[in-house]
Structures are given as structure tokens and as C-alpha cells.
Amino acid sequence: MSPRPLPRPAPPSFSGRLHDPRTATAVGRLLGAAVAVCFLTGVVSHYLQQPPGWLADRLPGRPVWGYRLSQGLHVASGLAAIPLLLAKLWAVYPRLFVWPPVRSARHALERLSVAVLVATAVFQLFTGLLNIVEWYPWPFSFVPVHFAVAWVLAGSVLLHVAVKAPDIRAHWSRRSAGTLALPDEDAADRRSLLLAVGAAAGAVTVTTVGQAFTPLRSLDLLAPRHPDVGPQGVPVNRTAAAARVTGASLRGWRLEVLGPRPYELSLPRLASLPQTEATLPIACVEGWSVSARWGGVRIRDLLERAGAPAGAAVRVVSLEARGAYRVMEMGGEYAGDPLTLLALRLNGQVLSADHGFPARIIAPNRPGVLQTKWVTRLEVL
């Protein structure tokens, strides 16, 4: 008796007729644009946050709003890509369940590339979503893994586009290369689908981008931060309590500046030095940003007093007991910038404890995690 053939598994079924190459291509155009913006701005963000040694002294402080723009675009494009990715998967899902799953070596490689593409896209977008709400239900460090997988995603996208180039070219518009219009009885339904998907992506963008683009802050309904809600009108990610900076640890605080001519300053003595005020944005890696008026002493003046040579970099040490950014290094371009301050005041008031009292770093075009709070020591490098 011959063995009975294995039954073919039935793929999940959704109503609708638009699981076709043209729909997939139309959604893919939008998704590709969002992923490209997200990837490029993510690379900028990473190298501003963790520059390699050869780049550390060359990072520019201008424009002062550069990081605010790039990180705002990064988070906004990533959020907009989520509904676009779901629509793309809906359009192509029958092809994910073809039977037999592998027909040849070439088909196996194509299936493997698609699996990598889908897995990395889902991983990047949804771990990024959890990052902006500061929830980390995984054992690995988010930043290096997110950056590494971004390159895998970029490579898998390029490979997928290369493999599917003939299909993409044929279905890019109603006319394939130089031929008459292709018949399309589902054009009206497809337009409705694309309008719905575009509206979903637009709604996500409009209700979150206000955390960085403050003219739309009144529509900031879904973002985890509101740009004008927080102590002294500026949001806070890490509080003094979370950093274990207490009144006892601040008692007798003095700023230590180490260099060829090391010295120490008490807070009253620091406040008596020539003061500078600057309006600068503080922009967080989670996507929120806001401009504020900061007042304090220029870092370059403090370093010159310690005998630092021109263009010297500086290491900044916080009172924070522990944390990934307790110690921060700042290249010569930032340290010598006249707008880089050891800030003592925010919006005309003495810094609150959650904003880094008694002193914090504020520098132009720099990620918020590197605007070190509760500064206790500067070291000329």
C-alpha cells in the first residue's frame, strides 16, 4: 500500500483580491522611502552618539539643530514605516506560503533572502518602537544590536530589489517600460487601499511628530513625550532619583578640572565667572526635542584656565553612581565651540535636580544622552 501524500498546509485567508505584484510594488515604494530615510538618519544618529576615534574630533556643532532634525526624522519615518510594513506583508503573504516551500537552489536562496528581509524589518521597527517608550524586554544592549541589524536590513533590501527588479519595473506604474497600459480591473480598489495605508501612516506621523516638531505639539497624542511637559518646561528621561543623585551626594559639591594646571571651583565661585547664554535644543534619542534658554560658563574657558591646548578634547564625569553615559568624551570641535556650556541655569532658573543641578553639559548638534548631567569633573585629554 503506497503511503498517502502529505496534505498541503492551507495558508491563512483574508478577504480581498489585491495580493498581487502591483499592490506590493505600490506599497513597497512608500515603505522603501521610509526605510531609506530611517536608515540614513539612523547612521547619522549612531555616529553622533558613538563616534569612532578618527571622527570624534571632527564632528561639527553646526547647524545647532542638526541632531534634532535627523533624530526627529529617524523616529518619525520609523513609526510611519510600521503601517506600511504591515500593508506590504498583507499584499505579499500568499507568496510567503507557496508550496513546495523550496523548488530549486536559486528559489531557496530567494526564500532565504526574503526571510532575512522580513525578520530584520520586523525586528528593527518594533524594537525601535519599544525603545522610544524606554521598555527593554530583551537581554541585549539595544544600541549596538539595533545598529548592526540596520546594516543587515539595508543589505537585504538591496538584494531583494536586485532580485525583483524585473517585477518592480513591470509594475512600477500603469505602463511598463514603453508598452501600452496594462489591464487593471482592480485599480479603484487598489487606490482605496493605498489611500487607507497612506492615511494610517500620516495619522501616526501627525500624532507623534509634535514631540520634535513643536508647531504640531498640540496634536502630539500618541508620542511618549510632550516637548513642553517637564520640570522647568523641558522633559526629563532620567531623574536624579533614578540616577541615585541625592542631596547628600551634592553636599560640598565642587567642580574639578584636570589638566596641565588643575583646579577646583565651588558652585558660588563657578557662578561668579563670566556667564554665557544660548538658546539651544536638547534632542533625545527617543525622538523628542525642545529648544530652551541655557546659561552657564563656556567649556573652552574652563579648559583654557586649566592650560589645555587649542583643540583639546575633554572627558566629562558625572556624579551619577552608575549608567552607560556616566562618563562622556567630547571632541575638540565641541569642546572649543563658544555655544558649548557647563550650564547652571535653564530658562532663567537654577537647574532643578532632575535637569542636572548643580551643573550639566549643553552643546549644539549633540544627542541628549551626551548632554551629561550632575557634572563633577572635567578632564583635558
| Separation of alpha carbons 171 and 21, rounded Å | 7
Model confidence at 10, pLDDT cuts 50, 70, 90, reads low
Which domains does the chain show, CATH number per domain?
21-175+184-219 (no CATH), 232-380 (3.90.420.10)
| Separation of alpha carbons 303 and 258, rounded Å | 9
Strands 314-318 and 289-298: unpaired
| Separation of alpha carbons 233 and 223, rounded Å | 17
Model confidence at 180, pLDDT cuts 50, 70, 90, reads very low
pLDDT for 5:
63
pLDDT for 186:
74
Amino acid at 35: V
| Separation of alpha carbons 284 and 72, rounded Å | 9
Helix (H, G, I), strand (E, B) or coil at 378: strand
pTM > 0.75: yes or no? yes
- The lowest-confidence range among 56-70, 106-120, 171-185 is 171-185
Q: What is the pLDDT of residues 88-104, one digit of tens each?
A: 999 988 877 777 878 88
| 135-164: average pLDDT | 93
| Separation of alpha carbons 137 and 146, rounded Å | 14
pLDDT, mean over the chain: 90
User: Taking a C-beta distance cutoff of 8 angstroms, is the pair 314, 336 a contact?
Assistant: no
What cell was used for 289? 526635542
Helix (H, G, I), strand (E, B) or coil at 293: strand
Model confidence at 361, pLDDT cuts 50, 70, 90, reads very high
